[in-house]
Structure 1
Amino acid sequence: MTAIPAAPVIEHHRVPLGIGESAPRLSWKITGAQPGWVQSAYEIEVSRTCGVENYHVASDEQVLVPWPGQALSSRERATLRVRVFDAEQTPSAWSEATVLEAGLLEAAEWIAQPVGGTWEEDPASDDRRGALVRREFEVGDGLVMARLYASAHGLYEAEINGRRVGDDAMSPGWTVYPKHLRYYTYDVTEHLRAGVNAVGAWLGEGWYRGRLGWRGGFRNLYGSDLSFLGQLELTYDDGRRDVIATDHSWQAAPSPILRSNIYDGEDYDAREELTGWSEPGCRGSGWTPVSVRERDPATLRAPLGPPVRCTQELTPIEVVETPSGHQVLDFGQNFTGRVRIRVQGPAGAVVTLRTAEVLQDGEIYTRPLRDARSTDRYILAGRSTGEEWEPRFTFHGFRYVEVDGWPGDLHAAIAAGDIVGRVYHTDLQRIGWFECSDPLVNQLHDNIVWGMRGNFLDIPTDCPQRDERVGWTGDIQVFAPTASFLYDVCGMLAGWLQDVEREQLPDGTVPWYVPVIPARQRWTPLRPGAAWGDVATFTPLTLHERFGDSGILDRQFESARRWVDLLDRLAGEDHLWDTGFQLGDWLDPAAPPQDPADAQTDRYLVATAYFAASARNVAVMARILGREEAAHYSALAEAVRLAFVGKYVRPDGRMASDAQTAYALALRFNLLPQEQRAAAGRRLAELVRESGNRIATGFVGTPLVSDALTDTGEIEVAYDLLLERECPSWLYQVLQGATTVWERWDSMLPDGTVNPGSMTSFNHYALGAVADWMHRVVAGLASAEPGYRRVRFAPRPGGGLTSARAEHESPYGRVAIDWRIEGEELVVCTEVPVGVTAVLELPGAPGIELRHGRAEHRVAWTSGGVPAATRAGSLPSADPAAH
């Protein structure tokens, strides 16, 4: 079998339509190669309107290789194929083709203006009704292509001739609106017909104008208007282009959406619907000229990642009859999304859907939602054929839905599929999986996945249910390694990191959350914070490590450098960051419910440790990029390390804060002298045992403690920590019925009541960062070079587990490991894709080099888990060079 390259992937786009890169990088995977095959060169064929060009490059690279030809122009389409050459310069067959299309790359290409209703501009009103906007237009003969470029102040859904355009939701998402407004490109050729056509859009408040922030929040933070910005371009076979853009010629009418808000839900009156409003010939007294607003076209940018979509539908598993007489649907899973209903009843009847994550005393418990109403209301039109409805411009985090006013039997409606939970999040590609012999650990991993899905909705949020849902930088900083294994987050997070830099203050301060809520100066002033601001240096390196994208490092280097330079100024000559407000080891389980920052570990120890780590990260970034600043930041990192040891490490090797997080930071950030590491590891293990193997770390320590134990030879203690069942622990949550990861270790108390703290979410991903350790250590699959160009297989069985497996769809292809204990042998099966080398490190055995292929390896393993002599064998498809 010969090597076969797959169709090229364009940057990190799943569908390269309307991309914003004029010279996009290309990647491909190779399958079918014989053992020992290596790529020595590649050839890219680019077909454009100006002709076909071929580019031959002598290189073994196949991930994010440079665009080979002239840069793309706006709207330009190109078709690409690739073939690869072996060591003897024998070419493979050509890959399947990839068609890409550029979006509007220059501000001058935009002629559209934002338009909306005139009645909803009063910023003093909190309940302004949104608008529908529309326009009719002619399509001539010979149409070959039509594209709609769309965005909004607020949220939009477009329609053409009565048909929905696209399947995305909550578009254009939440960005730093004054500097960055995302637009999406839609192929609408099949929506159109010769003659009269109509285009229109629904509008909703979203993050732009709707209520944001806790303690009541604020409205009109980015503007007081709701406006659609659309540019429909028609291309004909004779080369001419007609443009139908939003301007004064459009019309507006009040929407049947009476009110919509992310926190509070949506109210919809079906009696107010305008039949055929997005079809030709719609008439009525409700239509008035639009109000035309302004938008700097230089702020319009194509997305780097996929949009939000519905990715799954759930059916209720039970109807709970509550003590107060309500009916509550249990979907069996805490998730983020909306409920779709099909209903038939009299005009004016109201169906109310009220959501919650948990029950208490048999009723939905809404206190953790704080000021979020989280309620949708549908007023029936009374159609004899029935009605179908789903909210458009809101989302909820929930497992339970209290249903009031249902005109009929709720059980029968569920059986008929008339009530469905629709799961929404950024439509990321799943690329990582894990499983082991312990079903509770598997449930924990499932909870981590569901928690990520619920919180990756356009931005990496902290929670999807209460009056918050913002992009806390510390949460994603600790969770990015786990996220990057489970899903292809590179495009999404690369775009979000650009907004981090846009929000960064001139002095280098990185906000606690991005985008920043503009009214934050009234209750959350921007100030530097360790672990949160360090997202600027940690997350770009994580994405580079996992996806092999050095371009992210190049784009984010100045942001990272400015953050560390700020810390250098704050610390001063003694290199200790020991002043200012800090969140520290946030939500340490020993902290009081109403003071989550009051952790066992000194918050300034945390700050100085992160200062040292971030300085080192900037040095690493500089070395990768070939920048001369590497030496400066390496020296700074060493100076901070020495200051940390002098301040926080006692002569006997104990930390000034004798707490788990302190030792985890010192060990994982390599702050201790080599001769003190073993003692620190022993003390960390002692602290874990003294706590009864219960968790004693918060957001900062939790992602580090398991690795710190593993690195210092305390692997069984790390397993004890993972497998503990008493509160606080990961499995305590599982045994309490959790289906996502909680914000607090004890969000639900052992007696079944909810923690009294005001921050008590049942869907936060930060404490699920342990999954990265599970992937790398329990299963034993880790990247050893950026993009998994080299893989380290190093499973560390323990804790009584008898098997584990992990697989990851790397930029080069599928990497997998599957181990099991069979009698007195540890059997390990590995899979390595073409273009990747690997090392297999089994307990008690020498390292084995692997190349692409599948292989099986065995080592002797006693009942106590102690490795003995080793031997290796291979499956028929394995590369002989592996042994």
Structure 2
Amino acid sequence: MSNNTRVRELRVERRTDGAYADTPTPRLSWTVESDVPGWWQAGAEVRLDGEHVARLDTDESHFVPWPFDALAPHARHTLEVRVTGTDGGTSPWSAPVALRSTFLADGEWTAPFVGLAEPPAPATPGLLRTELDLGGEVASATLYASAHGVYQVEINGQDVDDAVLKPGWTAYQHRLVHEATDVTALLRPGANAVGVRLAGGWWTESYGFHGEARPFYGEQPAVAVQLHVVLTDGTTRVLTTGPDWRGAVAGPVTASGIYAGERIDARRALPGWSLPGFDDSAWSPVRADDDAVVPEPALAEPVRRIDELGVQDVITTPSGRTVLDFGQNLVGRLRVRVSGEAGQVITLRHAEVLEHGELGVRPLRHAEATDRLVLSGGQDVFEPEFTFHGFRYAEVDGWPGRLDLATAREAVTAVVISSDMRRTGWFECSDERVDRLHENVVWGMRGNFVSLPTDCPQRDERLGWTGDIQVFGPTASYLYDSDAFLASWLRDVAAEQAARDGVCPVVVPFVLPFGSQPAAAWGDAATVVPTTLLERFADRRALAEQYPSMRAWADVLVGLSGERLLWEGMFQFGDWLDPDAPPDDPAGAKTDPDIVASAYVVRSLQLVTAAAREVGDDEAAARYGDLTERARQAWVREYTTPSGRVVSDAQTAYALAIAFDLVDDATRARMGDRLAWLVRRAGYRIGTGFVGTPIVQDALTSTGHADVAARLLLQTGVPSWLYAVTMGATTVWERWDSMLPDGSINPGEMTSFNHYAFGAVADWLHRTVAGLAPGTPGYRRLRVAPVPIVGLDHATTRFESPYGTAEAGWAARDGQVVVHAVVPPNTRAEVLLPGGERLEVGAGPHEWTVPDPRTRPAPAPVTLGSTLGEVADDAEAYALVQATVEELAGRRTSALRSLREWTDQRTLEEELTRLAPAARERVGAALEVLSSRRGSRS
């Protein structure tokens, strides 16, 4: 027996916060630690309840099929695993894991949904309760509960868990989920009480834009509770919601809305209301709501409080208002500790930015995002429960006494909430601005993964836009173990499609009065996201479950594109938020929307073909494969020229052709050259929107233009990824210029400072710059292929893969590049070193030293006589010209807006004729100083 190999972790199904079986046959996964070089599993044993052992003749350790009889509902077991390597050594048994079934038997869910009998207004929060006498000792107890709204259950005065906003948001009319919480420790022999705090949440919210939002699901919240208790004598008791429950418009929460915020009156605290013996004679019998949807077990981790941040600054605005700055744009709410006169109201208004020193609330549109706290007259602790806000700043009004920094740090805490997924991916490099960009992506994902993948967390929207997650899914799957989260959301996608003849709507859950029509890149989430779960997690169960949904969307596309297999002339978002689109027309992109739509026809057909092969549907694979090739040829025939141009001569058009494999190798190379030329002509500034941004860096790098991709990454002018960083952003913005250089908010009706779509570049940082990618589904085989780029001295990424910790990166010094990699046990890696050498390695740490392939030619002198292209190619000179002209022309009306084509056909002096002669002389003098400084360096 080897003491150097052990099982580090044993997991059940997808969730990362415990061993929960939402199916009778859950898959098992384990990770191994070993100091044996190249360790590979030869077999494994799984032990159930310390006595039943299943011997597995397999080298697989991720999503291994359940090796025992199917689990029963309410089951509780322990699991252990040990592994044997090809070296002959066998590990000790792993630490036992407590497994619980979270599903119910068919027909076992009997709890009706109940709510307040006569609420005085829509979306009225309230309290519900009942009591039960258990008699004997409790052996085990599980609480199953769901809601039309959001809720928390108390048993004998204690919350049953630390989850918030339960049960989250699903496509309620099609699908509800229930929790399955172990509450054994909360129950006792004899009298017990169960209480529910209840509010409307997403169920009673109004959805829509332009002040025309309307309720979608229902007017009042309701809850369904089913408590399953097993006594030590074997007796089973089941308590459900029903007519014996009582409710009251009571408790501190007097009003609550996702967009509006919450009002909490501490004077209405009701001690003991969820304890046995409480006098509820003044409460009313509950009402019962009909619902034919039977809740299913929750697949994903719930929303929880995941972090806390303190006040960083207290700002007095020009108008005299008090604003707290938490230093980070976040999603959550404030916990406030305060005492003051009874009835005094503290008002908290939340926003992401300041504009000219005042709270920037215009981007919130109709979301009030305001909490009101009514003091009891004693020592109060407030934290809104059934709402959340996207904010960095909170304006405080009505505070008793002076709110200085010391007081604020003691009294106010920002509580960060998110779906409680496990962090799995990290990146760091030699440029702190890029590191900040990556951190912004992480914070943006945290804030927009609250029960479902939303577009933004702050304004009157916060919807599951399909286009956003379609492009961000790979990044999300690296940063966090989001398999359960996305697999759950995909069930809603399939349900919404089934209600619309296969059309995947633009938001899921679908709650809008528009948007049910198909839209390219948005509806394609139906094919792209399941493929991402296969690629990143090897989740073949999710792919098989979604396969009918994938086919349904592909069939919609075939019908829309007709005999020509071109999707033309219909509604499209296109390359949404192209930086050249006017503020009031975010769809006004340089790339024709038909080009985008028809490219996505090919893309989805490609993915459905691959999925058909994966699930063994050979007939469908042949059919969709033929359609793929016909659609690809149609795209090339209609939208490209023999010389390799695309009729929309824009960055996104070429990126699509390259990234989606729409053209042959020779054309691909020419298109890569043209794409690089377009980026250079733009002064190495980004020219893509939601569609092009996630793929433009891959398109450049894969066609031999890593130097251009590097300039694009490290650009700080607007538009660019780092522009927001230079403006102090701590999350990714919706628009490239959500905030203008003068500190004013973009004039468009729609702008957000927390949108993750443009953060999809992080996946390129992981896979390409640092060089760690899945070679086969789930990283069973890794691909280590770092691409050192000019402007960075080192880059490293670390990833908690399904098989253990993987790492890749590089560091450049003294004309060489040192590449390193850590390959987890039970995996292998294909390595492509800078310079082209290929090799294969097994588990363990590895390091290679190769010549630095990057070229850094000595900079040529740059003068007013240099061409604009020559200026653009010289990053230092380019930045100097930008800064000087901006200083001369003013930041708002910069003459640089006319410098849009940095080509070799015009000189800098010719382009600067629009400036006064003295200004041109200033630019020339600045360039002379630069040349002199360079000369002294050499």
For normalisation by structure 1, the TM-score amounts to 0.94
1:94 and 2:88 correspond: no
Aligned partner letter, 2:588: D
Moved more, 168-177 or 621-630: 621-630
Could you say which residue in structure 2 is the equivalent of 1:875?
none
User: Which residue of the partner structure matches residue 261 of structure 1?
Assistant: 257
Query: How far has the Cα of 1:603 moved from its partner?
Result: 0.2
Residues of 1 paired with 2:190 and 2:399: CA distance? 43
Matches within 5 A, 1:673-752: 673-752=664-743
Gaps of 5+ in 1: 867-883
* CA-CA distance at 1:217 after TM superposition: 4.9
Residue type matched to 2:45 in 1?
E
Q: Please, which of 377, 382, 386 is the counterpart of residue 393 of structure 1? A: 386
Please name the residue that 2:32 is paired with. 30
Alpha-carbon distance between aligned partners in 2 of 1:203 and 1:862, rounded to the nearest angstrom: 62
Q: 1:284 to 1:347 in 2, by over 3 A?
A: farther
2:914 aligned residue: none
Cα deviation code 1:341-387 (max 9, x no counterpart): 0110111000100001111121101110000000000111112xx01
Q: Is 1:278 equivalent to 2:271 in the alignment?
A: no
Aligned to 2:461: 468
Cα shift readout 1:17-43 (whole Å, capped 9, x = no counterpart): 663211000011111251243212222
CA distance in 2, matches of 1:827, 1:778: 14
Mapped partners of 1:265, 1:627: distance in 2: 50
Q: Is structure 2 residue 507 aligned with structure 1 residue 513?
A: yes
1:459 corresponds to which residue?
452
- Residue 336 of structure 2 is aligned with which of 325, 341, 346? 341
1:200-219 maps to which residues of 2 (within 5 A)?
200-219=195-214
Question: Could you tell me whether the CA contact under 8 Å between 2:13 and 2:20 is conserved in 1?
Answer: no
The question of whether the paired residues in 2 share the 8 Å contact of 1:335 and 1:423 is answered with yes
Conserved? CA contact 2:116–2:126, under 8 Å: yes
**Distance in structure 2 (CA, Å) of the matches to 1:783 and 1:130:** 47
Question: What residue is the counterpart of 1:136 in the other structure?
Answer: 131
Q: 2:427 aligns with which of 424, 430, 434?
A: 434
Report whether the alignment pairs 1:316 with 2:332: no
**Matched residue, 1:878:** none
Q: Equivalent of 1:834, from 811, 821, 825?
A: 825
Whether 1:240 and 2:243 are equivalent positions in the alignment is: no
The 2-side partners of 1:865 and 1:360 are apart by: 41
Which of these residues, 19, 22, 44, is aligned with residue 20 of structure 1? 22
Which whole-Å CA distance do the structure 2 matches of 1:260 and 1:801 have between them?
49
Instruction: Give the corresponding residue for 2:287.
Output: 291
Q: Once the two structures are superposed, what CA deviation does each residue of 1:42-75 show, in whole Å capped at 9, x if it has no partner?
A: 2222229xxx422222111111011112111110
Match for residue 631 of structure 1 among 612, 622, 640: 622
Corresponding residue for 1:619? 609
Task: Note if contact 1:18-1:75 (Cα within 8 Å) is conserved in structure 2.
Answer: no
What is the CA-CA distance between 1:412 and the residue it aligns to?
5.9
SS in 1 for 2:256: strand
Answering whether residue 353 of structure 2 is matched by residue 358 of structure 1, we say: yes
1:766 positional shift = 0.2
| Larger mean Cα displacement after TM superposition, 87-96 or 524-533 | 87-96
List aligned pairs for 1:807-846, cutoff 5 A: 807-846=798-837
Q: Any conservation in 1 of the 2:714–2:791 contact (CA below 8 Å)?
A: no
What is the alpha-carbon distance in structure 2 between the residues aligned to residue 707 and residue 91 of structure 1?
43
1:861 aligns with 2:852: yes
Partner of 2:321: 326
Quote the offset at 1:183 in angstroms. Answer: 0.8
Instruction: Label 1:678 to 1:117 Cα distance change in 2 as closer, same or farther (>3 A).
Output: same
Q: How far apart are residue 456 of structure 1 and its match?
A: 0.5
- Range moving further from structure 2, 39-48 or 206-215: 39-48
3-state SS of 1:92 partner: coil
Match for residue 667 of structure 1?
A: 658
- Over residues 608-631 of structure 1, what are the superposed CA-to-partner deviations in whole Å (9 max), with x where a residue is unaligned? 101011101111111122211111
Distance 2:427 2:405 in 1: 38
Which residue matches 1:105?
Answer: 104
Q: Do residues 116 (structure 1) and 115 (structure 2) align?
A: yes
Supply the distance in 2 between the matched residues of 1:310 and 1:731 (Cα, whole angstroms).
30
Q: Kindly tell me: are residues 787 and 382 of structure 1, through their superposed partners in 2, closer, same or farther at Cα, counting changes over 3 Å?
A: same
User: Is 2:208–2:214's contact at 8 Å kept on the other side of the alignment?
Assistant: no
Q: Residues 166, 762 of structure 1: CA spacing in aligned structure 2 closer, same or farther, 3 A cutoff?
A: same
Partner of 2:364: 369
The one-letter code of the counterpart of 1:411 is D
SS of residue matched to 2:545: helix
After superposition, the C-alpha distances for 1:237-283 in whole angstroms (9 at most, x for unaligned) are 11111222211111111133221000010011122222211112222
Matches within 5 A, 1:470-619: 470-504=463-497, 505-517=499-511, 520-521=512-513, 524-619=514-609
- Percent of aligned pairs with the same amino acid: 49
The code of the aligned residue for 2:290 comes to E
Counterparts in 2 of 1:483 and 1:184: CA distance versus 1, 3 Å: same
> In the aligned structure 2, how far is the partner of 1:725 from the partner of 1:110?
57
Residue 580 of structure 1 deviates from its aligned partner by 1.2
Cα distance between partner residues in 1 of 2:186 and 2:402: 39
Q: CA deviation at 1:729?
A: 0.4
Change (3 A) 1:36 1:779: closer
Distance in 2 between residues matched to 1:213 and 1:299, nearest whole Å: 28
CA contact (8 A) 1:4 1:31 kept: yes
**1:529 aligned counterpart, secondary structure:** coil
Alpha-carbon contact 1:845-1:859 (below 8 Å) kept: no
3-state SS in 2 of match to 1:56 = strand
Distance 1:43 1:339, change over 3 A: same
Partner of 2:192: 197
Deviation by residue 1:503-534 (Cα, 9 ceiling, x = unmatched): 004432110010000xx34xx14111100011
Alignment match, 1:877: none
Q: 1:26 is matched by which residue type in structure 2? A: L
Measure the CA separation in 2 of the matches of 1:619 and 1:447. Answer: 36
Q: CA–CA distance in 2 between the matches of 1:460 and 1:792? A: 28
CA contact (8 A) 1:18 1:302 kept: no
**Is the CA contact 1:723–1:799 (under 8 Å) kept in the aligned structure 2?**
no
Query: CA–CA distance in 2 between the matches of 1:294 and 1:112?
Result: 11
Q: What residue in structure 2 maps to residue 881 of structure 1?
A: none
- Counterpart amino acid of residue 113 in structure 1: P
Structure 2: distance between partners of 1:12 and 1:729: 36
**Cα deviation, residue 856, structure 1:** 1.6
CA distance in 2, matches of 1:661, 1:95: 50
For the 8 Å contact 1:534–1:614, the answer to whether it is kept is: yes
So what's the TM-score if we normalise by structure 2?
A: 0.89
Shift of 1:865: 6.2
Work out whether residues 149 and 184 of structure 1, in 8 Å CA contact, stay in contact via their aligned partners in 2.
yes
SS at 1:206 equivalent: coil
Q: Does residue 183 of the first structure (1) align with residue 173 of the second (2)?
A: no
Q: Secondary structure at the match of 1:61?
A: coil
Work out the CA distance in 2 between the residues paired with 1:813 and 1:803: 23
CA distance in 1, matches of 2:515, 2:823: 49
In 2, the alpha carbon distance for the partners of 1:556 and 1:652 equals: 40
8 A Cα contact 2:720 2:736, kept in partner: yes
Output the CA distance in 2 between the equivalents of 1:594 and 1:261.
Answer: 29
Paired letter, 2:734 = E
Query: Could you say what the CA RMSD is over the residues aligned between the two structures, in angstroms?
Result: 1.6
What is the number of equivalent residue pairs in this alignment? 852
Letter in 2 for 1:478: V
Residue 157 (structure 1) shift? 1.1
Name 2:442's counterpart in structure 1.
Answer: 449
Contact 1:8 1:28 in 2 (8 A): yes
Distance of 2:584 and 2:295 partners within structure 1: 42
Task: Tell me what 1:307 maps to.
Answer: 302
The question of whether the paired residues in 1 share the 8 Å contact of 2:12 and 2:20 is answered with: no
Give the secondary structure class of the aligned counterpart of 2:760: helix
